[in-house]
Structure 1
Amino acid sequence: MAGSQTPAPGKSADRLGAGSGCATNHQQVRDKYAPRIDGKFEVEPYIAEKEGRPFAFLQCYLLSESDRESYGYSIEEIHFGIDQFIGKPSLFNNRYGTQMMMEFVQFIFHDKQADTVTVDPEVSHPRAIRCYEKCGFQRIKEIDGGRKWLMAISFGQ
């Protein structure tokens, strides 16, 4: 996986992965993620590539103080949240997601000096949950009224 701070123009997929709440077309992706890429949100956007071709969007961010408090994390430690999606359904079930996640988590632990990395997949998205578990994430608790799992992995786990 290679990351870059700016995606190549016109490389977004027309149709994205299934799942409740996922963006489904180019304009929705642009509306949701362009402000992040433009620095209007405090997230770091990345594009994952395989054999020189972009295939996924990832982002990481420091958890807010209120999130750390509600999740029961120490204020003294560094906790990151991540979000990601693979742009083409034809790339699902090819281990791209697992490899991408493992590399991204290691990058955050080593480059960002994170103590914990969290992700919050919807409970109705078993493919994502299985991928995160393969990477070492553990289910911590249900959040957002039971709609999502808080999953976490700690450095050295």
Structure 2
Amino acid sequence: MNAGYVSIRNMEHTDYEIMGKWLSTKEVLEFYGDMNSPFTLEEVKRKYAPRVNGDIPVHPYIVELNSAPVGFMQRYKIDEDEKKEFGYASKLCVYGIDQFIGIPDLFNKGLGTIMVSKFIAYIRLHTDVDIIILDPDVSNMRAIKCYEKCGFKKVRKINKGLNWLMEWTNGRG
């Protein structure tokens, strides 16, 4: 993706409408949410307002291409129980991330690789991260290839074999 400038900014209350639009798109819901249950604006507000307000420790972001919103990302620190479940040492700082491109016409153009690479750089700059994990659906080959381009490795299947646990390692440890 050569044309355009990709940036990531904090999600704001004014972004609920665009999130509602994206979360009603079958191509987005195929791997993010439930295809049979598009989000209403009220559901978007109920889910994302506590994140935007900082009431829960999940940090939401909007991805922009030339200042126009095109996608969503979020990061969250993995707690001690989850670290244990995934086999990570307690001393490690592990973050989980989720993301999607909200406009299907932008799929398969390299935008996801740019988004994820920039997000890794942002997390490295602003946290003491050792490992970043994500868990794509095993059939989401487009996302898996993107994540591998960004340095993620498949660790093992989780959720009864439905998802890959993939990790990026900072290399400090």
Question: TM (normalized to structure 1)?
Answer: 0.88
User: Map of 1:1-157 to 2, 5 A cutoff?
Assistant: 1-6=7-12, 8-9=14-15, 10-12=17-19, 13=21, 14-15=24-25, 16-20=27-31, 22-23=33-34, 25-27=38-40, 30=44, 32-156=47-171
Deviation for aligned residue 1:20: 4.5
Q: Which amino acid aligns with 1:69?
A: K
Q: Percent identity?
A: 35
Number of equivalent positions: 157
Q: Which amino acid aligns with 1:103?
A: K
CA RMSD of aligned residues (A): 2.1
Q: Which amino acid aligns with 1:55?
A: V
- Secondary structure of 1:136 counterpart: coil
After superposition, the Cα gap between the structure-2 partners of 1:7 and 1:95, relative to the gap in structure 1 and judged at 3 Å, is farther
- Separation of aligned partners in 2, 1:49 and 1:20: 21
- More helix per residue: 1 or 2? 2
Please list every run of at least 4 consecutive aligned residues from structure 1 whose deviation after the TM superposition is greater than 6 angstroms.
none
Deviation for aligned residue 1:128: 0.8
Alignment gaps of 5+ in structure 1: none
Q: Which has the larger radius of gyration?
A: 2
- Separation of aligned partners in 1, 2:90 and 2:109: 38
Deviation for aligned residue 1:4: 1.8
- Separation of aligned partners in 2, 1:32 and 1:146: 27
On the 8 A contact 1:44/1:60 being kept in 2, the answer is yes
